Amino acid sequence: MADDPDLHRALGLIVTGWTGLEFVSGTMLFAALGGTDESIVRVIVAGQRIQNLWDTTGEILRTFGKDAAPTLVIFKQWRGIADGYRVKRNEAIHSPWAIRESDNQPAAIDVFSRKASQGIRTDLFPGGVDDLLELAQDINTCTDGGQHLRARIQGIVAMRAAEGDRGRQERKPGDL
């Protein structure tokens, strides 16, 4: 890896930002399940790929029907954005980095994508460290959006629980 302290710092910001996005993804699933103890999130998400968390959360929201329809639309949009950052994060973190001779700046070397099979590419992050810092900020912004989504999901679950409680209270003993 290129020995550039700014590069190392930027990659570290991406890693720590992504950890937050993974955590909020788990808490969204936990909220959809009606959970109240966030420490259990670790048990639910342990070893899960983030796409599986998103798939499961989306499916649970879908089962809520019209109550969650607007939130499901927002969740799908958020997921698409987050998945784009997942791809870029993987490129940044898993690509080897070197110093370009042409400008003495760090460059990621694409060895993973389909395009990499056509030859080495050093244009993954043409802006170098600045591109990485922007990605880290984008991931943090996406995480904030995920926290808002989690709150929406919790609201839907609470509303559904309250409606269920009212329905149970309205039944008479002996009703099925």
* Domain residue limits, the chain: 5-170
pLDDT band at 158 (very low <50, low <70, confident <90, very high): very high
Give the Cβ contact number of residue 92 at 10 Å: 23
d(CA 112, CA 89): 13
Residue 41 has pLDDT above 80, yes or no: no
d(CA 160, CA 156): 6
Global pTM value = 0.85
pLDDT digits (tens, 9 = 90+) for 117-130: 665 666 788 888 99
Whether residue 2 contacts residue 106, with contact meaning beta carbons closer than 8 Å, is answered with: yes
d(CA 82, CA 84): 5
- pLDDT at position 118: 61
Residue 99 has pLDDT above 70, yes or no: yes
Q: Give the list of residues 6+ apart from residue 106 with CB closer than 8 angstroms, or none.
A: 2, 4, 7, 97, 98, 99, 100, 128, 129
Whether residue 127 contacts residue 105, with contact meaning beta carbons closer than 8 Å, is answered with: no
Residue 175 or residue 54, greater confidence: 54
pLDDT digits (tens, 9 = 90+) for 62-84: 999 998 999 999 999 999 999 99
Residue 1 has pLDDT above 70, yes or no: no
Amino acid at 167: G
Question: For the chain, how far is it from start to end, CA to CA, in angstroms?
Answer: 67
Residue 2 or residue 126, greater confidence: 126
